[in-house]
Amino acid sequence: MKNQKKLAVIALGGNALLRGTQIGTIEEQEQNTLETIESLVYLIKEGYDLVITHGNGPQVGNILMRNDAGEQTYNIPQMPLDVCVADSQGGIGYMIERMLRNVMKKHGIKREVVCLVTQVVIDKNDAGFSNPTKRVGKIYNREQADLLSKEKKWAFKEEKKMEDGWRRVVPSPKPIEIINETIIESLAKQGNIVIAVGGGGIPVYIDKKGDIRPSEAVIDKDLASSLLAAGIGADEFYILTDVPYIYLNYGQPDQQILEFLDKNDTEKYLKNGVFTEGSMAPKIRAALNFINQGGDKSIITEATKLSDKKYGSKITLKYDNEC
């Protein structure tokens, strides 16, 4: 039997933390976070139990570039990717928690907030390891990329929009287990607002001895958030991005809003390539994953539009234009 209060997982992404035209100063990120958190107030006032997840793409990229600069300039040893993801979880989680506490104080809301550095288990034999696709860190020239490939065994792919530009690529395996899932569920259903699974979680695998081992990879944030939402029995799963709806023929003259979708139609659109892999398709896949595992409703919308119920695309098991 589900908890009487609704439990929702909110995945912050897109312009929730950093907008495309910005350089990523702390002032910019704090302002964006503040605006996004304001949009969550109505859910808090309606009594929802909440778990907040978030992306870390630009931030972990900056951490990796600081890694490079420190090694090249001061001979400071580089930290592995899993530690960089953990660093970004701590920094971003702190920022979200502080903004959230300030917003709740403004609105007279009393709820506790906790941020968990979260490990997520992957399969070390996942097919993604044979084809690294996730671009991270700075852009190098061919000579630098070749040297790093030999020294560190890094994989690189060419940046098509930049002459003699090469960027490190890392695997993005599927998440299979959220290590902190039980405590996240317990804390959330006690009324605490939990911040967890930042950047898709710290990628780890379980070795033959049963020990937890680090992995040089990154995990898709929305897919990991969807796994968490299903695992803790959430009623609703929200993906906050930089557009207010899912669109058919996005950016074309015949663009059409898809506000209400059922599982079957959404799967057909995905199979037919309606949604691009570099943009909406991973979000659709995560939303469907939640529905397929028993979730009531997935909502995809623009970060600051969340409180306005006329916005957002809703995906349910069966078509429901009142959801």
- In DSSP terms, 114 is beta-bridged to 194
Q: Residue 188 pLDDT more than 50?
A: yes
Residue 167 lies in a domain: no
Determine the pLDDT at residue 27: 95
Residue 168 lies in a domain: no
Q: Residue 73 pLDDT more than 70?
A: yes
pLDDT (mean) for 260-270: 96
pLDDT (mean) for 49-55: 97
Task: Express as a percent the part of the chain with pLDDT over 90.
Answer: 78
pLDDT (mean) for 170-180: 96
Task: Express as a percent the part of the chain with pLDDT over 70.
Answer: 98
Residue 140 lies in a domain: no
More confident residue, 250 or 98: 98
Count of CB atoms situated within 10 Å of the CB of 233: 16
Distance CA 257, CA 249 (A): 9
Distance CA 289, CA 183 (A): 22
Residue 12 lies in a domain: yes
pLDDT (mean) for 98-126: 97
Residue 213 lies in a domain: yes
pLDDT (mean) for 16-26: 82
C-alpha dihedral, 276 to 11 to 47 to 235, nearest 10°: 60
Count of CB atoms situated within 10 Å of the CB of 167: 17
Mean of per-residue pLDDT scores for the chain: 92
Determine the pLDDT at residue 1: 43
Distance CA 5, CA 46 (A): 9
Which residues are annotated as catalytic? 14-15, 134, 221, 283
Residue 142 lies in a domain: no
Residue 291 lies in a domain: yes
pLDDT (mean) for 102-124: 98
Q: Residue 164 pLDDT more than 70?
A: yes
Residue 125 makes CB contacts below 8 A (sequence gap 6+) with: none
Determine the pLDDT at residue 251: 85
Q: Is 182 exposed, middle or buried (0-12, 13-18, 19+ CB in 10 A)?
A: exposed
Determine the pLDDT at residue 14: 60
Q: Residue 146 pLDDT more than 70?
A: yes
Residue 137 lies in a domain: no
Tell me which DSSP letter residue 201 carries. -
Read off the CATH number of the domain in which 202 is found: 3.40.1160.10
Determine the pLDDT at residue 323: 62
- Which residue, chain included where needed, has tokens 């209060």? 5
As a residue count, the chain comes to: 323
Determine the pLDDT at residue 279: 83
Q: Residue 56 pLDDT more than 60?
A: yes
Q: What is the pTM assigned to this prediction?
A: 0.93
Please give the residue range of the domain that contains residue 16: 7-123+180-316
How many domains is the chain built from? 1
**Cα Rg of the chain, angstroms:** 20
